[in-house]
Structure 1
Amino acid sequence: MRVTDAISQDSPDPGTPGSFIELLRIEQLDKNLFRGSCHAGAPTRTFGGQVAAQALTAAGRTVNPARAVHSLHGYFLRPGDPQRPIEYEVDRVRDGFSYATRRVTAIQQGEAIFTLSASFKLPEEAGTRQRTMPPVPGPEELPDPFPLWAEQAPEDYARSGFRSLDMRFVPADAPGVPPELPGVPQQFVWLRAGTPLPADDPLVQVCALTYLSDLTLAPTAALHVQPHRLQRSGPPRVMLASLDHAMWFHRPFRADDWLLFAQRSPSASDGRGLSLGEFYNRDGELVASAVQEALLRELQPQPPRP
């Protein structure tokens, strides 16, 4: 039995505060119907990465475990309400000899808030190549940003899923950081699940990385206006919201081991920002790629009250 089918006795207690696997937990209501709940990413809306991760978990629950996820494409349609459950309806589009395709619609109060298409395939032997990982400092050499955030914004920190993960930002002037191209802001972040994940369930690893992938892509598109919220002080200067999100999974990995997320944003226009990201493991293997377009609107400063 996969851990995505039922939390195993060997996995961390899903009721324990800070257990990452609890973020992926969904309940099966019918053959193709599941239900979950998501924490807030902003004060009044669910965190999109968790919605996408739970939708992918629902899709994977309907596929033979021998087929691994190789890609996903999602659209964020409406803000989700973190106070209400989310239902995930799975459409079993196709089961071919090598590939299988699923569509998932996330629904709240009768309205679609997110749609996902995911493709699964049987493994096969083939040639390999990849981009070389930049030689940036490792996570052990970098400070933990969460204690300061918990002190500065305890309410934001308490409602988020950040208690369940680890993150380290690589300074822009650190050794090994590639030169930034004009008009292409970039950032490098080490990420991992903060509690152990079951090694015998690849779907859990992929769904965990789906969650992690939505943390810093939109802020990368806004770096020309403001730094990430874990690195800035003062109120936000831009409105950010994920519009669509795509991922490709190239090689097996562990999401509870450190992964370098190398990100850059080649375009911002029309109230939208595009970000590209690549995940590398500690051995320098490129394990996944992500692309996201986000709503990006600069907030006008409010005049002081008389």
Structure 2
Amino acid sequence: MTSVNDLLDILILEQLSENEFEGTSETVGSPNVFGGQVLAQAINAAYRTITNNRVLHSMHSYFLEAGNLSLPIRYQVSIMRDGGSFSVRRVTASQNGTVIFILSASFHKDEKGYEHQIQMEPNVAQPEDLMSWSDLLEQFGEMLPKKTKTFLEIPRPVEFKPTQIPNPFEKKNLPPYADIWFKLKGDTSSLDLPTKQKILTYISDYNILSVAIQPHASKAHWGNLQTASLDHSMWYFRDFDLDDWLLFSLESPSTSNARGFAKGHIFTRDGKLVASVAQEGLMRPIV
């Protein structure tokens, strides 16, 4: 995938029946289906059963089995509630009859009320002053660890620019914080809010678990850890545009029992908080 149009081709599902849909997969460099893809496809399925113009405001999910890239994924939507203000859907994803993922999503009608938000870090480096993943590959590709180089070589519909780039050869523990700018490749001016939410959810599964590894970087890295997303939750606060860079501000409050917990906030460049994310992932040392 090289543009937003390629991404949308993956996220939009084929309808099999009134509440049943099917999707295909595209690799992001992992041997298994990317969690962000399953999240976004499940939200697509849930949205397809919403007929009252309500908008997704939160979702909570669990990854139960690794997804097989070569098999289609079937999404079954259960209509749990259509109340006066909220609609709730439950989505079950399966391959060959085995459930690999479950998601609950809540949709809310447009209402007016009080507003406040936390502030974005005022002195964060701007994306124009930073190197992207593509820049890193171009300038340092031959010096990077083979696994890192292979991962960066995968074509992606989104560009990432971290404000700090750890040296993979420096065995040094790092603070459990990270700020990463991201931007879609291609024209995003005509996308509606539900589509932008699906894309944002897809991107939210990138980078998040890495911040939980950073405090242990003197010993731990992707090559000696078994990692997997265990659950993923997201809250959507405000409409936003995808035609400029967005900032994913991440932190990891804790790791324990071979699990890492991370959370993050997504801001527009001008500081509008559009979503928050939380995830716990497997971080099992390979011995």
TM more than 0.5: yes
Q: Which residue of 2 aligns with 1:164?
A: 157
TM-score of the aligned structures, taking structure 2 as reference length:
0.86
Selected match of 1:88 from 75, 99, 105:
75
Selected match of 2:104 from 88, 111, 117:
117
User: Is contact 1:24-1:54 (8 Å) kept?
Assistant: yes
Selected match of 1:265 from 252, 260, 263:
252
User: Is contact 1:183-1:266 (8 Å) kept?
Assistant: no
* 1:102-141 alignment runs, 5 A limit: 102-135=89-122, 136-141=124-129
RMSD across aligned positions (CA): 2.7
Task: Give the AA of the match of 1:221.
Answer: A
Q: Which residue of 2 aligns with 1:201?
A: 192
For structure 1, list consecutive stretches of 5 or more residues without a partner in the other structure: 1-13, 174-181, 301-306
Helix, strand or coil: the match of 1:29? strand
Percentage identity across paired residues of the two chains: 37
For structure 2, list consecutive stretches of 5 or more residues without a partner in the other structure: 167-172
Task: Give the AA of the match of 1:169.
Answer: P
Task: Give the AA of the match of 1:164.
Answer: P
Counterparts of 2:276 and 2:3, CA distance in 1: 31
Deviation at 1:19, TM superposition (A): 2.8
Selected match of 1:145 from 118, 122, 133:
133
* 1:45-124 alignment runs, 5 A limit: 45-64=32-51, 66-124=53-111
CA, structure 1 residues 44+289, in 2 after alignment: closer, same or farther (shift >3 Å)? same
Deviation at 1:200, TM superposition (A): 4.8
User: Is contact 1:192-1:212 (8 Å) kept?
Assistant: no
Counterparts of 1:202 and 1:165, CA distance in 2: 18
Counterparts of 1:125 and 1:110, CA distance in 2: 43
Task: Give the AA of the match of 1:217.
Answer: I
Task: Give the AA of the match of 1:273.
Answer: G
Counterparts of 1:97 and 1:279, CA distance in 2: 29
CA, structure 1 residues 276+172, in 2 after alignment: closer, same or farther (shift >3 Å)? same
Deviation at 1:166, TM superposition (A): 1.1
Answer yes or no: is 1:277 the counterpart of 2:264: yes
Q: How many residues align?
A: 272
Q: Which residue of 1 aligns with 2:216?
A: 225
TM-score of the aligned structures, taking structure 1 as reference length:
0.81
